Structure 1
Amino acid sequence: MRLLLLLLLSVSASVWSVPIERNGGNQEVKEEEQEENGDTGLYYDRYLREVIEVLETDPHFREKLQTANTEDIKNGRLSKELDLVSHHVRTRLDELKRQEVSRLRMLLKAKMDSTNTQREQMDHASLLRQFEHLDPHNQNTFEAKDLELLISTATKDLENYDAERHEEFKRYEMLKEHERREYLKGLDQEKREKEERRMQELKEKHRQHPKVNAPGSVAQLREVWEETDGLDPQEFNPKTFFKLHDTNEDGLLDEQELEALFTKELEKVYDPKNEEDDMMEMEEERLRMREHIMNNVDTNKDRLVSLEEFLKSTEKREFNNPKEWETLDAKPAYTEEELQRFEVELRDKEEELKRRVETLRQEQELLNERGKALEAQKKEYQQAVLEMSQRQKEGADALPPAGPNGELQFQPKAPQPEEKETKADQEAEVPNNLPAEPPQNLPVQP
């Protein structure tokens, strides 16, 4: 039952399908690879899967899910059961929603920053209305409204998913042709003619492939029965075939299980070792084959094939006498007018990129100039700090010595030689007003 809700929601898995082998050794590994790669292609794929995984842990909701049909899920009746799930499940759902809101806010901010959108204050509620898979008015708790919106949005988006894949492939083919023409323009006449002949030979070589059986026809299913399943083609039984390829044993063939049936037919046309074979075209061919079966077998349009639908399709005239299947090389994916519009779009984008590159270059030059100015200012500051440190050090060296108790001791300054001479000279110049003593040992006159 794991990811059962995704199957009921018609999850379209864009994976590389593999042939089904009954050896048993690699089957478990391949199933794990398919499960890991089963991306719906939706931008909220992770949120969708995490919500479903949490809901499946609740026994009550799981029981309701097992008994619900596609219409119950699409019309929102299953959402009402959310009020009965356990508290820890609701807590985990609340956490998932807050994480999704935070992720969307970051995406919006990055988008607005990249487009240089001016905004004074961001209104998160109005911005989140752009995303239809959650309730923008309640950004903290996961309620029944959130589950209803998630289911309805996923259903609608998945219905348009195949059309988006076709459009993406068309753009890929036009880009490839545009690059081919631009490459030829750069060659001289002789080399251009030689290269055109080589490309034409590759196209012709690609067209030389065995006949491709129509998907879902008895010839195509018998080929899988014999070469993949290793069974006797004379004992082909549609009911047994269905059960063999219902790998998860849920009584339905989902899109992954159907696409695995086309591997033998695709190998007739595409080989990754051949230069002329494009693997992107192979995946587009696989999508076309799956759509062909869904259009002719899936009568209730739930993107799943039940055993009843499968058996009814084997009773149709097209099952035994189908039209010849035309591969992609039989008809171009685009018209010349579409290619011309695409090339105009490419030129406009190229001009816009050039303008943005020039703007970024000017901004880079301005930043470099500012960087140089800041570097010069930094050097000035460093020099000023160095000079200040030297002055402080010189001031510390000039302090008088300290006494035994830490007090400062001042000593008189020793007189300089120049000062002594000056003092002697000053004393010599000062007149002596005291009377001179008479000379001793001289005779006394009468």
Structure 2
Amino acid sequence: MWWSGAICQGFLLLICLLVCVEAVPVAIDKTKINPPEEQKEKEKGNPDTGLYYDRYLREVIDVLETDQHFREKLQNTDMEDIKAGKLAKELDFVSHNVRTRLDEMKRQELNRLRSLIKAKQDVETGKGLAVDHESLLKQFEYLNHGNPHTFEIDDLNKLITTATSDLENFDKEHHDEFKRYELMKEHERREYLKALDEEKRKTEEQHYEEMKKKHADHPKVNHPGSQDQLKEVWEETDGLDPLDFDPKTFFKLHDTNGDEFLDEQELEALFTKELEKMYDPKNEEDDMVEMEEERIRMREHVMNEVDVNKDRLVSLEEFLVSTGKREFLEPDSWETLEQAPAFTEEEMKEFEQHLAEQEHDLKNKADNLNKQREELERQQEQLNAQKLELQKAVEHMDKLKTQKEHPPPGTNEEQAHDGGHPIESNQPLSTSHHEEQTKPHQ
């Protein structure tokens, strides 16, 4: 197991938030509260945090777990103290062997980052761009770059702070991405309708409205985390009698990794039955991207209601306390995605304006590239013409050189007969000389 239940009350709870990854485990039917010991001891695959420094984060945790003093401090430290940096100060009291291993791990991580930066520099330099090593290193906020040799309190504090911040932003980033997805989907639908004639447009609009109604026509969705919702899981997933529903037993059944907490993945698995009421991958009207957004909304709602200490984990105590509240027994109706649109018409206009601006910029860039291409083609034509002229000139020079080195036959004999001076055979005799030769002797 990644870490024991005792450690999960401290810093390692932070890393258990690492379960805010997209994969959702399948709910498991269990009829026994206590699983076999060998199953408890079996190592489970560590969920990927999605953080680019995930490997380094895990290695630091694994090493810190080996120190008895640090483990004991973890048991008495709550999440707020961890975020405030109080736990990081305990690093001064860990064993020398642990500190040495952490020092070496930090050096290796810095070397890895420098290798990445060097590779980036090689690429950028090839394009004639300068690279600032220090600026690039500062992007990796989970490391103290001022001290590249040893792992200090500041290193642990930075790692905790950065991981906490990054993980807390995961849901917000997912919601923003989903909103962009919905905006783009609606934009493409409207653009498609514009390209149709009036009759086809009416047909498509009618089909669209029918699909919306069909999607909204589903069984009642129970309020996430309510007694009705959990009882439905108890009966249909666990196969138990709803009259025998017991919150503590339910908690044990769905703590699938046996760490005495319900993490985000384990919570999301509880909503599968509710989601199946609204979404079927075989149906045209059901969007599976929307289903995953609905799942996250449900999990966030339950966490806000039940997770008192905000460590992104639900303990047995927190769970039992929540089952005694009025909201558990008599909850409000749950507002599904189709009842809570992802965007307003004003946001749609802003999105389309942004797309139009992007399209305009891309068109300008394309026009500039075309002009550059035409200019390059013109320059290439000029270069080809110059090369052709140069080639002709070289050929002419070679011809003259060849004629000089190898004159035509007979030229040398004529020069020798005339005393070495060539006779211009085509040159006419002067008039006076011709007259002297033709005048009769007197």
| TM more than 0.5 | yes
CA distance in 1, matches of 2:274, 2:24: 13
| Corresponding residue of 1:91 | 104
- State whether structure 2 residue 328 is matched by structure 1 residue 319: yes
* 1:186 aligned partner, one-letter code: A
**Equivalents in 1 of 2:191, 2:211: separation in Å?**
19
- Show CA shifts across 1:203-225 (max 9, x none): 00000011011111111111111
Q: Say if 1:93 and 1:142, in contact at 8 Å, map to a contact too.
A: yes
CA–CA distance in structure 2, aligned partners of residues 376 and 144 of structure 1:
70
Partner of 2:113: 100
Larger radius of gyration: 1
Residues in 1 aligned to 2:379 and 2:148: alpha-carbon distance in whole angstroms: 43
C-alpha distance 317-330 of structure 1, shift in aligned 2 (>3 A): same
Q: Count how many residue pairs are aligned between Structure 1 and Structure 2.
A: 387
Q: Which moved more, 1:201-210 or 1:122-131?
A: 122-131
CA distance in 2 between partners of 1:87 and 1:261 (Å): 43
Q: Distance in 2 between matches of 1:378 and 1:32?
A: 72
Partner of 1:48: 54
Q: Equivalent residue for 2:232?
A: 223
Q: Contact 2:193–2:201 (CA<8 Å) still a contact in 1?
A: yes
Q: What pairs with 1:2-151 in structure 2 (closer than 5 Å)?
A: 2=2, 7-9=13-15, 10-22=17-29, 35=46, 38-40=48-50, 45-57=51-63, 60-61=66-67, 64-65=70-71, 67-68=73-74, 69=77, 70-80=79-89, 81=91, 84=96, 85-103=98-116, 122-138=131-147, 142-151=151-160
Deviations along 1:402-430, whole A, 9 cap, x unmatched? Answer: xxxxxxxxxxxxxxxxxxxxxxxxxxxxx
Report the secondary structure of 1:187's partner residue.
Answer: coil
Q: Distance in 2 between matches of 1:182 and 1:260?
A: 37
1:274 pairs with one of 283, 289, 293 = 283
Q: Tell me: CA distance 1:223–1:338, structure 2 relative to 1, closer, same or farther (3 Å).
A: same
Structure 2 contact 117–133 (Cα < 8 Å) conserved: no
Structure 1: distance between partners of 2:59 and 2:151: 15
Deviation at 1:66, TM superposition (A): 6.5
* Residue of structure 2 equivalent to 1:211: 220
Q: What are the equivalent positions in structure 2 for 1:251-330 lying under 5 Å apart?
A: 251-330=260-339
Change in CA separation of 1:58 and 1:328 when aligned onto 2, cut-off 3 Å: closer
SS of the aligned residue for 1:249 comes to coil
TM-score (norm: length of structure 2): 0.73
Distance 1:336 1:123 in 2: 44
Q: Which moved more, 1:93-102 or 1:328-337?
A: 93-102
User: RCO higher in 1 or 2 (8 Å CA, sep ≥ 6)?
Assistant: 2
In 2, are the aligned partners of 1:7 and 1:254 still within 8 Å (CA)?
A: no
Q: Distance in 2 between matches of 1:67 and 1:246?
A: 25
Q: Match of 1:17, as an amino acid?
A: V
Alpha-carbon distance in structure 2 between the residues aligned to 1:62 and 1:379: 83
Q: Distance in 2 between matches of 1:350 and 1:249?
A: 53
Aligned partner of 1:263: which letter?
Answer: T
The Cα of 1:178 is off from its aligned counterpart by 0.8
RMSD over aligned CA atoms reads: 4.3
Q: Pick closer, same or farther for the CA change 1:276–1:137 going to 2, 3 Å.
A: same
Q: Which residue of 2 aligns with 1:178?
A: 187
Secondary structure of 1:268's counterpart equals: helix
* Partner amino acid, structure 1, of 2:56: E
Within 1, Cα distance between the matches of 2:25 and 2:368?
48
Superposed, 1:344-363 pairs within 5 Å as 344-363=353-372
Identity across matched positions, percent: 52
**Alignment partner of 2:200 out of 185, 191, 194:** 191
Paired AA for residue 174 in structure 1: L
The answer to whether the Cα contact below 8 Å between 1:98 and 1:139 also exists between their aligned partners in 2 is no
AA in 2 matched with 1:312: V
Which residue of 1 is the match for residue 161 of structure 2? 152
Residues 19 and 228, structure 1, Cα contact 8 Å, conserved in 2? no
Cα distance, 1:365 vs. partner?
Answer: 5.3
What is residue 250 of structure 2 aligned with on the other side? 241
Aligned pair in 2 of structure 1 residues 137, 252: CA closer, same or farther (>3 Å)?
Answer: same
Contact residue 81 and residue 87 of structure 2 kept, 8 A: yes
AA aligned opposite 1:231: L
Q: Residues 62 and 290 of structure 1: is their aligned pair in 2 closer, same or farther, counting only changes over 3 Å?
A: farther
Is this contact kept in 2: 1:51–1:96, CA < 8 A?
no
Change (3 A) 1:89 1:193: same
Q: Aligned equivalents of 2:201 and 2:121: distance in 1?
A: 47
Instruction: Note if contact 1:134-1:150 (Cα within 8 Å) is conserved in structure 2.
Output: yes
Q: CA separation in 2, counterparts of 1:112 and 1:168? A: 34
Would the aligned equivalents of 1:214 and 1:323 in 2 still touch at CA under 8 Å? Answer: yes
Match of 2:414?
Answer: none
After superposition, the C-alpha distances for 1:76-108 in whole angstroms (9 at most, x for unaligned) are: 344342774153443133112332354467679
Query: 8 Å contact 1:13–1:39 — kept in the other structure?
Result: yes
Q: Which amino acid aligns with 2:100?
A: H
Distance 2:372 2:161 in 1: 46
Aligned-residue offset at 1:269: 0.3
Q: Secondary structure at the match of 2:270?
A: helix
In 2: Cα distance, 1:164 partner to 1:336 partner: 22
Unaligned runs of 5+ in 2: 393-442
